[in-house]
Chain A
């Protein structure tokens, strides 16, 4: 699956107006979205350290060493576990506090705290490639989203050689227009805890507004994206691009949508050797 996307920014003061404009444009109410992101990164392959350092004096070997390093490092990408918080269905159930809300994989021990607010989280394993190089009218990248329903995610990833890095939370509003998803969101920081806890922890959800923002100015990011089953298909590619550019044109007075900066969207793990020289 490929993702075609354009990005933009909305300042805090413009946020409400932008939401209204998008609501008018897409003829729908904003869909409130909360996503917990757990970032994982692959462990450096063990063999890397045994290679002679690039600065060594092996002369003739230099090229081969470089090749090996590239091979070992190739395909080292960040992965994310994304937990979409499923909103509680009836909102007006505040009077019956006793409703026991527990959902399958949740830890019951911790649910004593604000049990009525505890929400279900739908997890999926997200992989995003680095956007394709070259000057493109829209950002294109390979993506894969596998929903994870059951099991020990952390151990699963561990066995695949991925270690937990950190977590954060994305809150915002989604709009849909044809194939396009418009997501106006901001990133909130979460206290860093161990991976196992991070998968279960939803205690912060009731008071999400008190979480510290990554961007102190309170600004929002907007992403307009289209998922395409096969982004290499020229017809689909053209269609998705056209749709996004039409959107960009239509919204140009509200928000400036541009392709993303490839470097900052780079999901490759930089080559680092644990051995310090």
Chain B
């Protein structure tokens, strides 16, 4: 029997802070739901869910890290604790038994594992099952590494040539970087700009359209017009046009 060590106190304090963070994120979600009618946007909800799940994750990590210490620690009220008047509080705080619904949840999990598979003849043996458990994380990981995530094409498609992929889309698509980490993106083929101004006269402009659809709707290419640095300033042009010099 020993008192809490400083390290343990620190671990507990960290846990406390994580709990606090989790609580804060719950409050944030709650107030969002309360203020936005009928519900916050889907992405906003997702963000909240992510945040909460991250906080939960850190708590779980924290707990498992200090599992041995926490498991072997027992808390008890000091004599100063108004045990008689506040026994309810004490019970609530020191309760270690799981709540019935949680208990049930755990039981259910157990049952899933233990219950003999009735309708399934191909049930795996325990050894195979545990082998599968061993194998699966690595395999999944390996599978995941085969792709560069976040692009619009798969690496396979890239190898076969992206121009063969029929996307039907006329906007810039993200190309996965080469496996060597070559960051240089190739020019998109359909983005070739017409440099030859003499040909303009022949090009009939597309006029059969309502206003502004020709104006790029906030796409990347419509980012503020980059003026080539050496273009003469509007003032100089105007000055010349006014005075002829």
Contacts and interface: CB of A to CB of B under 8 A. Distances in A.
Interface residues of A, number: 55
Interface stretch (A28-36, A100-108, A236-244): A28-36
Contact of B209 (A24, A37, A187, A260): A24
Contact of B206 (A24, A254, A263): A24
Interface string A141-182: 000000000000000000000000111101000000000000
B215 interface: yes
Nearest to A91: B201
A43 interface: no
B200 A209 contact: no
A219 B211 contact: no
Contacts of B193: 13, 16-17
Contacts of A13: 193, 195, 228
Interface string B231-245: 110111111111111
B198 A209 contact: yes
Interface stretch (B149-157, B176-184, B219-227): B219-227
B228 A170 contact: no
Interface SS of chain A = mixed
Contact of A168 (B206, B212, B222, B241): B241
Interface SS of chain B = loop
Interface residues of B, number: 42
Interface string A34-49: 0001010100000000
Given A16-B193, A165-B245, A217-B231, 10 more contacts: A11-B227, A15-B197, A19-B205, A20-B205, A24-B213, A25-B211, A29-B205, A251-B215, A264-B235, A267-B242
Interface of A: 7-17, 19-21, 23-30, 32, 37, 39, 41, 78, 80, 128, 165-168, 170, 187, 209, 214-217, 219, 221, 250-251, 253-256, 260-261, 263-267
7 contacts: A7-B234, A7-B238, A9-B231, A23-B207, A24-B214, A37-B244, A209-B198
